[in-house]
Amino acid sequence: MTKIIGLTGGIGSGKSTIANYFQSFGIPVYIADNEARKIMQSAAIIEAVKKVFGTSIFENDALNREKLAEIVFNAPEKLKELNKIVHPAVKRHFDQWILQHAAAPYVIYEAAILFESGGYKNCDLIISITAPVESRIQRVMERDKTTRKLVLKRINSQWTDEQRISKSDFVIENISIEAAKLEIVKILKILKIKQNES
């Protein structure tokens, strides 16, 4: 049976880069945030979001993600409400996706809020990525063209590295991509051994 390996880390820790490197070894990778974005464009989800957040966060029926982010990262209870709408839909989508990769010994499930959403419960093993906070802030400010204040709000809405590490099987320190890649190769060797044992 295909094993699910959770891959997580705080915003700006370099999850996409690490996920892409795993993918380069032919391992199927599911990027939960990307799929959630697509799912949020479906009529049923748009309707549910409108019910909770009103129509002011929509422009010509298109969701304004910045406006929504501003609301949810300033109000934890609103973030919970949004997650209640989106996470079950992502879970259903992932369940379909994994059926298409049933021949793979394992797949990577990459999610920023793997623990906060409860998604970790479906994983056989978990890898956490850490990176210095300052590097993460700079990375997200450049990537999202946003402010330091908003990035810190998003960081503070997530679990800390310490919390994630305490529940993880492997930790990749993403200080330099070369060092991180070496860690990935080590993890893949361990996974191969586990696979041969089972």
Find, among 60, 83, 57, the residue nearest to 68 by Cα: 57
Answer yes or no: CATH 3.40.50.300 is held by domain 3-33+90-197.
Answer: yes
- Please tell me the pTM assigned to this model: 0.90
- CA 41-47-53 angle, to 5 degrees, is 100
Report the b/e string of 50-63 with b at 16+ CB within 10 A: eeebeeebbeeeeb
Instruction: List the chain pLDDT tens, one digit each, 198 residues.
Output: 899 999 999 999 999 999 999 999 999 999 999 999 999 989 999 999 999 999 999 988 788 988 998 898 888 899 889 999 999 999 999 999 999 999 999 999 999 999 988 899 999 999 999 999 999 999 999 998 989 998 998 899 899 999 999 999 999 999 999 999 999 999 999 999 888 886
- Residue 58's SS3 state is strand
If 0-12 CB within 10 Å is exposed, 13-18 middle and 19+ buried, where does residue 88 land? exposed
Where along the chain do its domains lie?
Answer: 3-33+90-197
Tokens, residue 33:
């945030």
